[in-house]
Amino acid sequence: MALQLPAWWKIDPTAPFELGPRRLPGRIWTASGCFAYGLTGHDFAAPGFASPYEGLGAVVTKTVTPAPRAGNPMPRLAETACGAINSIGLENVGFDRFCDEVLPELERRGVPTVASLAATRPAEFGTMAARLHRVAGGFAHWHGVEVNLSCPNVAEGGHDFGRDPATVAECVAAARAELPDRALLAKLTPNITDITELSGAAINAGADAVSAINTVLGLEVDLTTGQPVLPRRFGGYSGPAVLPIALAKVDEIVQKTGGKVVGVGGIATATDALKFFALGAVAVQVGTAQMRDPFAAARIARELRPG
């Protein structure tokens, strides 16, 4: 049965919209790490869909770091009754290979792309953004950068970027200076008392929007051993169970700061996505559901088209 859209919903989420200096092709995105780099979707097929990219506004890539990373020891993903806990450890090919091989191939295939970047010093975000612009400034399908601020700041004793508003601002400002014509987003952690302080710092430093939320800290236990399932004990919890948390954080940001928000967290259906739009989100990202079904975001985009 087709979804009965509410009377207040008038937006076509597959129509272009402006975010900062960039016009993106739609409001339904895939979340970082949940569709890899965005290169494998052409290998999938589903009845009624030309590809998993149909109707999408952006694929946010797997997070890329200055140097390649092998990631954390296995196992690093555990499914739960209402989601999944991961401790991937930012496994990626490294920034050089991303610029030389991955981003040009995404452009060749016409994949709408937002590059997710992580670093260990605030200034590195500027260095990475500058090279991205040199490499891809003429690309039609590279639309912007999402700075992943859940990494340790080695320059300041190892605390998380995402927990300190001043450091959030420094990271965003460094990237903003090098991205004159691309959208810039800051992905925020929910593992903090007041997410609006982080949002305000990011927006004031030049972010066009914040992505909220990143994963919630979680742990799962293997009862056969009596030990945590993940070798690093804790991981990032995502999936349907975090939806109410994400909605609450998005509402806080919109109501208290007025900043633009891309909603993330627990979205599996068009109904879930509508809840974020009802609270004022300008776009949404589909994460864990996209790992289970590579057409999840495309289905949501199709179901939310009015008429």
pLDDT in tens, 219-242: 999 999 999 999 999 999 999 999
Catalytic residue among 34, 82, 99, 151: 151
CA gap 27, 283 in Å, rounded: 4
Type of residue numbered 88: I
CA gap 156, 148 in Å, rounded: 17
Mean pLDDT of 290-305: 97
CA gap 13, 10 in Å, rounded: 9
* 199-220 pLDDT per residue, tens: 999 999 999 999 999 999 999 9
What's the pLDDT score for residue 43? Answer: 87
What's the pLDDT score for residue 151? Answer: 61
Q: Does residue 53 or residue 120 have the better pLDDT?
A: 53
pLDDT band at 1 (very low <50, low <70, confident <90, very high): low
Burial class of residue 155, CB neighbours in 10 A (0-12, 13-18, 19+):
middle
Closest CA to 129 of 117, 120, 141, 113: 117
* 133-151 pLDDT per residue, tens: 999 999 999 999 999 997 6
* 239-257 pLDDT per residue, tens: 999 999 999 999 999 999 9
Going along the chain from its start, the domains and CATH numbers come out as 17-303 (3.20.20.70)
Average pLDDT, rounded, for the chain: 94
β-pair partners for 264: 285
Q: Give percent of the chain above pLDDT 90.
A: 89
What's the pLDDT score for residue 162? Answer: 81
Distances from the Cα of 262 to the Cαs of 44, 59, 68, 230, 265, in angstroms? 26, 13, 28, 29, 10
What's the pLDDT score for residue 294? Answer: 96
Q: Kindly tell me if the per-residue pLDDT of 307 is higher than 90.
A: no
Closest CA to 278 of 22, 11, 2: 11
pLDDT band at 156 (very low <50, low <70, confident <90, very high): low
| 33-47, 145-159, 187-201: least confidently modelled range | 145-159
Mean pLDDT of 117-124: 93
Q: Kindly tell me if the per-residue pLDDT of 153 is higher than 50.
A: no
Active site residue 171: no
Q: Kindly tell me if the per-residue pLDDT of 75 is higher than 70.
A: yes
What's the pLDDT score for residue 158? Answer: 46
Q: Kindly tell me if the per-residue pLDDT of 275 is higher than 90.
A: yes
End-to-end CA distance of the chain: 15
